[in-house]
Amino acid sequence: MRDRYCVIGNPIGHSKSPAIHAAFALQTGQDLVYERCLAPLDGFDATVGALVAAGCKGANVTVPFKLAAAALCGTLSARADAAGAVNTLTFADGQIRGDNTDGAGLVRDIGVNAGFALGGKRVLLLGAGGAARGAILPLLGEAPRELVIANRSRASADALVARFAGPGRLLSACEFVDLDGPFDLVVNATSASLAGAMPPLPAAIFTPHTLALDMMYGNQPTPFMAFASGCGAIARDGLGMLVEQAAEAFAQWRGVRPETATILERMRSNSL
Ligand code: ATR
């Protein structure tokens, strides 16, 4: 029997994770099956229980179950604990272990795929929900000069600053209207793109050297990407982050890190 993995979400039909993991498995010679798993909105725990009982080895978790996954795990990695959310489950020895590879995937996409060195840079993170929270520690780990968190509701951004403040960390919160540019990197971690919207941003936060990365991706540039490009910035979608978070999960499960550049290239040319 081949080892089984899956991605759990609702909806899940659109997920690119099965194609990515199948390509990783082929490339690394790992014999495994990776499927989609639709969990009922009120049935995440039961779905995981059934997967464990069926001998599944692990699962990725996507919208809207990342918080429920964190609550279900017996043990959490430090970064999953900091994020308060889990996107990677490992089932072993009767235990459910949770990790969050999203932030590491983001940082790797920025540093390796986009070739952007974060050290000493001025960074703006848009949003203060689960996606933003998971990105903070990995971003701070790259020693930016400053990290500003801007959110529609100021209180949530303030709460993140209070949680992640520490010696040597220049971390602050503001509302969109108070944004004072320019920034070297702007990461859109709001869910606005899902609704075809974007936060109200001043054009002055962008320069021709600014990397403007949306965690979302689609067939068309998101409104945030279109706006950033219109302001002269370098726009990037979340496809690279998606591939990198998957590689990180795959490496954990299988003990071998897949090569990602060709997979990302194939996804961009729609051949995967
Ligand atoms: P996720 O897990 O994707 O981060 P979430 O935890 O619900 O989802 O957080 C959504 C984030 O997107 C929040 O920061 C939210 O702002 P509020 O805290 O003010 O609600 C932000 N967001 C959603 N729609 C937005 C919009 N149209 N404009 C700006 N921010 C938006």
The confidence score (pLDDT) of residue 51 equals 98
Which amino acid makes up residue 76? L
Kindly report, as residue ranges, where domains of CATH 3.40.50.10860 are found in the chain: 3-100+242-268
Taking the C-alpha atoms of residue 155 and residue 228, their distance in angstroms, rounded to an integer, is: 26
Instruction: Examine the pLDDT at 37 and tell me if it is beyond 90.
Output: yes
- In the prediction, which pLDDT does 168 show? 87
How many Å lie between the centroid of ligand 1 and the Cα of residue 150?
Answer: 11
Render pLDDT for 56-115 as a digit per residue (tens, 0 to 9): 999 999 999 999 999 999 999 999 999 999 999 999 999 999 999 999 999 999 999 999
Identify the residues whose C-beta falls under 6 Å from ligand 1: 127-132, 151-153, 156, 190-192, 195, 197, 199
In the chain, which segments carry CATH 3.40.50.720?
A: 103-237
Strand 3-9 with 32-38, pairing:
parallel
> Domain 103-237, what architecture?
3-Layer(aba) Sandwich (3.40)
pLDDT at 181 over 90: no
pLDDT of residue 159: 97
CATH class held by domain 3-100+242-268: alpha beta
Say how many Å lie between the CA of residue 55 and the centre of ligand 1. 36
Other CB atoms within 10 A of residue 99 CB: 24
Nearest CA to ligand 1 atom 18: 153
Residue 141 sits at the vertex; the CA angle it makes with 135 and 145, to the nearest 5 degrees, is: 95
Look at ligand 1, atom 24, and give the residue with the nearest C-alpha. 192
Cβ–Cβ under 8 Å, residues 224 and 188: yes
pLDDT of residue 79: 93
CA distances from 192 to 28, 50, 240, 266 (A): 37, 34, 19, 27
Please give the structure tokens belonging to residue 203: 């054009």
pTM score of the predicted model: 0.96
The strand pair at 95-99 and 88-92 is best described as: antiparallel
Reading across the β-sheet that carries 185-188, which strands appear in turn?
Answer: 171-174, 146-150, 122-126, 185-188, 211-214, 234-236
Residue 64 alpha carbon to ligand 1 centre in Å:
13
Nearest-angstrom CA–CA distance, 260 and 249: 13
